[in-house]
Structure 1
Amino acid sequence: MTVKNDSLKTYMNYINGKWIPSRTGEIEASINPANRNEVVGYIQDSVLPDLDEAVKAAADAQVKWKRLAGSVRGDFLYKAAAVLEKRLEEVATAMTKEMGKTFAEAKGETARGVAILRYYAGEGMRSGGDVIPSTDSEALMFTTRVPLGVVGIITPWNFPVAIPLWKMAPAIVYGNTVVIKPASETGVTCAKLMECFEEAGLPPGVVNMVTGSGSVIGKGIAEHPGIQALSFTGSNAVGKSIGLAAFARGAKYQLEMGGKNPVVIAADADLNLAVEATISGGLRSTGQKCTATSRVIVHKDIYEPFKQLLLDRIAQIKVGDGMQEDVWMGPCASERQQNTVLAYISKGIEEGARLLCGGNHPQRSDYPDGYFVEPTVFENVTADMAIAREEIFGPVLALIKAESIEQALQLANDTEFGLSASIFTTNIGAMLKFIQEMDAGLVRINSESAGVELQAPFGGMKQSSSHSREQGRAAIEFFTSIKTVFVKS
């Protein structure tokens, strides 16, 4: 049982336009990973009856919500974007204090959330169907898109503004209503998003938030008969269990899961550009991105100069509390995540990889109570090692030497994942070969592996996703169904 500090705010579940405590009365503390002794706030430790109430509210609200014109639904998103923009620094501060990314990154993500809301607000005025020629000359045939109903959304802690919004915004504008379960580590940040929707005047029940454990609320969303579709971002193990539960009851589901993303450094690469992008792609947000660079595959001819430049630049990185202006990399998001990263580092050493730098909790007096891990680089990494095959989700880079572009591509594809990948080269033929043969949903040329623009489809191949796509206009494919209409005079 959590002992509450009365000076800190307790955030309720948001159900049917009201802030409601869990029926258990139990709460959970949100901890600052840069200082485990600091509580950011409290969220509800909910149970299934709380979820049932939220689903009922969403189902009741959807009856009227789907009947509104798309432009009217979009207007609510425009208003929510304005509120979020007004509260940008407040939301970004909560994000940094809850999950540790630097304040600059948190502000950038929150600004992206504003742009996501505005983008999908515009979707309310875009085409939603096609006119199709009929074999009957006296008939009209066309398609339209209809909402699915109540959508369950389960989101991770690493992008606590962008990911919830790139799921909720299209779901809402296409006429669905939403029940979201955010990661407990970032429940306060998600509550602030709900406050933005509330202030924007969104009708009660259109968006609902229930916080709690994945084993109770997450599983409950996957199995709930009142939820017609699920959108999930998180680990492969959890994603597959959610997909199976949804499939068993005939619900539509969308899964975005892990990655083991490579960057290929060709012999003709701009080394300064490649090093900066490798560091940014692999170590920003403490490596806690599904698109983060993890495997660095370097042509043998430039391996040594690349390695030395990489180590020199990493040595300049300052690790610490993300609220400090001069800090470049914050902590892992939780003690569990820190332990996972440190365990992989130990395993890399045990399996024979050579540790070039980092690998420890920094021994400094100014942050002894945070979940920090030093930026870490291994070499002599072989394709069968755990650090080359499994998603670490931390600031760990594995250097792998390649004899040729062909071998580099083979190594890059030697993984069960297929989320993102990048190559640094000035050779057009190598670029085209990489684009054609790389098994990844996102390929980037002379740019880091991490990141995708909000107007572009995003998703992975192989074990990285359920092969659906999020963001951009691709979102309409998941959040709606096609209805074919035949009209005969």
Structure 2
Amino acid sequence: MTNAPRYNLFIDGAWTAPGSNEWIAVENPATGETVAHVAKGDAGDVEKAVSAAQKAFPAWSRKTALERADYLLALNTLIERDKERLAATITSEMGKPLKEARGEIDFAIGLIRFAAENTRRLEGEIVPGSTPDEKILIDRVPHGVIGGIAAWNFPFALCARKIGPAIAAGNTVVVKPHELTPFAGLEMARLVEEAKIPNGVVNIVTGDGPDVGVPLVAHPLTKLITMTGSTPAGKKIMAAAAEHLKEVRLELGGKAPFIVMEDADIEKAAQAAIESRFTNAGQVCTCNERTYVHEAVYDAFTSKIREKISGLKVGSPTDPDTDMGPKVSLAELEKVHAMVEGAVRQGGKLEVGGHRLTGPEYDKGFYYAPTLLTDVRQDMDIAHNEVFGPVLSVIRVADFDQALAFANDCRYGLSAYLFTRDLGRILRMTRELEFGEIYVNRGGGEAPQGYHHGYGESGLGGEDGKHGLEAYVQTKTIYLNA
């Protein structure tokens, strides 16, 4: 693409050239074309952004809840107006099919709407005092400057997930989009500007992890860090944040088990397994990463899965008939292929796919064939390491006990799925399945009013809903006497 647009940083309400005078080329993973150049920020730019956010915080935090909500609703109106353009932006930098990109914009709108509607529900408490004339007030107040770090797989929605609740609660924010997909976050900044959100309340600094992410986390004025990304990156952020004892909210990797019992609706379960694995080319932290199927329906279920995978259309993400687009990068594609090859070496059977797609439609992009592995065992590497790609692994189980044991044999604890008609099993699952988010007899996809969180190496804290919003305030206890 010739004449690709160039984006500066968005700091203190102004578009600001990077101190490094360097730029990052953003490539379309479907075509290899450069779709934009974005500023390569550095520690100096982070300093400017955090300072701007700190300067804006007193006035913003003093605004009423309703005033903050009105700004967010104005932002949402602009997002709704520009839905098609924003969806095309996501598709161009991330390779997500356009119909899925539209869904991402809808999800972002829902996240911001929930934050706006609930600004007046951040309520304090009154506790009886220690003397007859005393009252103890427990207030909820904003932290100050929030540092947000977004992953590349949902570039617009993750920025909305950081910005919406942060500023709804009275904080100001500095967001670092991922360097592979920074375009959508900067488009969000354009709308923040148009919505006339006061200068410094929202700042967007693009760049890589060492130059932008590290100084943002380490800055003494950022009071809370909210990050979506990989588990190794999350551990580094937690370690860096410890120096200033700042709070962290980490939404990290996942290895979701997808349990299908012999009494399940097999057609419904198979369709959900496909959607929960191949949406966004498998690049979703809640994706079906390992499918546990009762031996009584293993053959029937596998046959349905094989048929459905063979029917998926892989191609241009702008084609309305496309079911799956490319991987986000060559490195990601090669990682997935190495995991498939490793599974086959360890005894897995390659039923469908297992290779990079070639041909005129695919050669310029990073397309990987939808893949089915059967005869996968619990002791294989692919049953424990996050694939984050279009590979469905099927593992046979003898009964519900074994399914639960295998599901919990995991260092991650984000999402899980269960298909059964047995209420007893469902109730037992609520006690024994060690995951923060469980989908029963349905495919994936969290709701803005829910609570998106995990256990173990899937992170700390959570996002969305009232519990996610409450993470953006801290308590202040006041012993009130006349």
- What TM-score results when the alignment is normalised by the length of structure 1? 0.97
Given candidates 466, 474, 481, the residue that maps to 1:473 is 466
Task: Please say if 1:363 is aligned against 2:358.
Answer: yes
Instruction: State the match for 1:309 in structure 2.
Output: 304
Instruction: State the match for 2:242 in structure 1.
Output: 247
Given candidates 366, 370, 374, the residue that maps to 2:369 is 374
Given candidates 451, 458, 464, the residue that maps to 1:464 is 458
1:6 CA drift (Å): 6.4
* Per-residue CA distance 1:64-115 (angstroms, 9 max, x = gap): 1111111111110010000111011111000011111111111111012112
Q: Measure the CA separation in 2 of the matches of 1:373 and 1:286.
A: 8
Q: Measure the CA separation in 2 of the matches of 1:348 and 1:365.
A: 29
1:127 CA drift (Å): 4.1
Conserved? CA contact 1:282–1:396, under 8 Å: yes
1:434 CA drift (Å): 1.5
Conserved? CA contact 2:462–2:468, under 8 Å: yes
Counterpart code for 2:474: S
* Per-residue CA distance 1:281-324 (angstroms, 9 max, x = gap): 01111000000001000000000010001100111000011111
Instruction: State the match for 1:16 in structure 2.
Output: 12
Given candidates 114, 122, 125, the residue that maps to 1:119 is 114
* Per-residue CA distance 1:262-290 (angstroms, 9 max, x = gap): 11010011110000000000111100000
Matches within 5 A, 1:17-416: 17-36=13-32, 38-416=33-411
Given candidates 475, 478, 481, the residue that maps to 1:482 is 475
Counterpart code for 1:16: D
SS of the aligned residue for 1:101 comes to coil
Given candidates 430, 435, 458, the residue that maps to 2:425 is 430
Conserved? CA contact 1:72–1:124, under 8 Å: no
* Per-residue CA distance 1:223-248 (angstroms, 9 max, x = gap): 11121110011001010000011012
Counterpart code for 2:25: A
Deviates more, 1:360-369 or 1:154-163: 360-369
SS of the aligned residue for 1:323 comes to coil
1:138 CA drift (Å): 1.4
- Aligned residue pairs total 482
- What TM-score results when the alignment is normalised by the length of structure 2? 0.98
Identity, in percent, stands at: 34
Conserved? CA contact 2:147–2:224, under 8 Å: yes
1:219 CA drift (Å): 1.1
Change (3 A) 1:484 1:208: same
SS of the aligned residue for 1:66 comes to helix
Which stretches in structure 2 are left out of the alignment for 5+ residues?
Answer: none
Counterpart code for 2:462: R
Instruction: State the match for 1:454 in structure 2.
Output: 448
Counterpart code for 2:467: A
Deviates more, 1:381-390 or 1:307-316: 381-390
Q: Measure the CA separation in 1 of the matches of 2:440 and 2:315.
A: 31
SS of the aligned residue for 2:180 comes to helix
SS of the aligned residue for 1:138 comes to coil
Q: Measure the CA separation in 2 of the matches of 1:191 and 1:363.
A: 33
Q: Measure the CA separation in 2 of the matches of 1:321 and 1:131.
A: 58
1:334 CA drift (Å): 1.1
Conserved? CA contact 1:246–1:252, under 8 Å: yes
* Per-residue CA distance 1:136-188 (angstroms, 9 max, x = gap): 22122221111111110000011112221112111101111100000011111
1:363 CA drift (Å): 2.6
Conserved? CA contact 2:415–2:454, under 8 Å: yes
SS of the aligned residue for 2:475 comes to strand
Conserved? CA contact 1:77–1:121, under 8 Å: yes
Counterpart code for 1:452: E
Counterpart code for 1:444: Y
SS of the aligned residue for 2:109 comes to helix
Q: Measure the CA separation in 2 of the matches of 1:62 and 1:85.
A: 27
Q: Measure the CA separation in 2 of the matches of 1:343 and 1:385.
A: 14
Q: Measure the CA separation in 1 of the matches of 2:122 and 2:475.
A: 13
Change (3 A) 1:127 1:480: closer
Conserved? CA contact 2:260–2:293, under 8 Å: yes
Counterpart code for 1:469: G
Conserved? CA contact 2:122–2:140, under 8 Å: no
Counterpart code for 1:56: S
Q: Measure the CA separation in 1 of the matches of 2:357 and 2:144.
A: 49
